[in-house]
C-alpha cells in the first residue's frame, strides 16, 4: 500500500506535468489529484524536484525498456526489416509518452541530474539504431562519429513526426502503420540524382 500511494503520486504527477508543465503544477495540485493530504507527499518524496527525478527516470526507463525488448524479439526472429520495426516501435511507445518526454527534456535544461538521465536515454536509443545500421551495412565507409550522427538524426526525425502526428494533429494510434511507411520512405537527398552524398 505504500507502493500504491507512491504510484498514485507518480501517476498524478505524470498527468499534470503533461497537461500543464512542471512549473505550473503545484504540489498541492498533485496531492489533490491523487486524493491525499499535502504532508503525505513528503512521506514518499524528499521534494518536488525529487519527484520529478523519479518520474523522469521511470518514464525513460520504461520507454527504453520497451524499445530494448522489442529489439530482442526481432533479432531472435531474424527480422528482415529491422528499421521499419524500430520506427513502428518508437512511434507506438511515443504515442503515450510524448508530452512527458518533452517535459523531461525541458526541465533537464535547469537540472543537470535530469539532463543526464535524458542524455543517457537518447544514447541508449541511438546505440540500438547504430547496431541496425552496422548490421545492414547501409553506410559503408562511415566513421563511428558519422554513424552516431546518423542514428541521432533518425531519432530526431521520428520524434518530430510523432509530435506533429500525435500531439499537434491529434491522431490516434490507428494510423501508425501509414506514418511508419512515410518515415521509412524518407530519403534526405530527395530527387537529386545528379549528385549523391558524394563526399563520404
Binding site for DNA (CB under 7 A): 1-2, 5, 26-28, 36-43, 46-49
Distance from C-alpha of 43 to C-alpha of 45, rounded to nearest angstrom: 6
Axis-axis angle for helices 48-76, 112-136 (nearest 10): 10
Considering only residues 156-185, where is the footprint of a second copy by CB under 8 A? 156-161, 163-165, 168, 177-179, 181-185
Q: Which of 181, 156, 17 is nearest to 94 (CA)?
A: 156
Residue 96: name its binding partner from a second copy, DNA, none (Cβ under 5 to 8 Å by kind): none
Torsion of Cα atoms, 189 then 158 then 103 then 67, to 10°? -140
Assess contact for 147 and 139: CB atoms under 8 A: yes
Q: Is 37 exposed, middle or buried (0-12, 13-18, 19+ CB in 10 A)?
A: exposed
- Which grid coordinates are listed for 199? 563526399
**Does 99 sit near a second copy (CB under 8 A)?**
yes
Q: Which of 46, 116, 146, 173 binds a second copy (CB under 8 A)?
A: 146
Q: Does 15 bind a second copy (CB under 8 A)?
A: no
What's the min distance (Å) between Cβ of 50 and DNA? 7
Asked if 42 is part of the footprint of a second copy (rule: CB under 8 A), the reply reads no
Q: Which residues bind a second copy (CB under 8 A)?
A: 20-24, 80-84, 87, 99, 102-103, 105-107, 109-110, 119, 132-133, 136-139, 142, 146, 148-150, 152-161, 163-165, 168, 177-179, 181-192, 194-200
Amino acid at each position: 500500500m505504500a507502493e500504491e500511494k507512491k504510484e498514485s503520486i507518480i501517476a498524478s504527477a505524470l498527468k499534470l506535468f503533461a497537461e500543464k508543465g512542471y512549473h505550473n503544477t503545484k504540489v498541492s495540485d498533485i496531492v489533490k489529484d491523487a486524493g491525499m493530504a499535502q504532508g503525505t507527499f513528503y512521506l514518499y518524496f524528499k521534494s518536488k524536484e525529487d519527484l520529478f527525478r523519479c518520474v523522469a527516470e521511470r518514464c525513460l526507463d520504461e520507454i527504453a525498456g520497451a524499445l530494448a525488448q522489442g529489439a530482442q524479439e526481432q533479432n531472435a526472429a531474424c527480422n528482415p526489416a529491422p528499421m521499419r520495426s524500430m520506427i513502428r516501435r518508437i512511434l507506438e511507445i511515443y504515442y503515450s509518452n510524448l508530452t512527458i518526454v518533452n517535459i523531461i527534456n525541458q526541465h533537464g535544461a535547469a537540472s543537470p541530474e535530469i539532463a543526464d538521465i535524458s542524455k543517457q536515454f537518447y544514447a541508449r536509443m541511438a546505440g540500438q539504431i547504430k547496431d541496425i545500421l552496422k548490421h545492414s551495412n547501409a553506410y559503408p565507409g562511415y566513421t563511428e562519429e558519422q554513424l552516431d550522427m546518423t542514428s541521432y538524426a533518425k531519432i530526431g526525425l521520428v520524434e518530430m513526426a510523432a509530435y506533429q502526428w500525435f500531439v499537434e494533429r491529434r491522431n490516434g494510434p490507428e494510423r501508425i502503420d501509414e506514418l511508419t511507411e512515410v518515415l521509412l520512405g524518407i530519403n534526405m537527398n530527395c530527387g537529386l540524382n545528379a549528385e549523391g552524398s558524394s563526399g563520404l
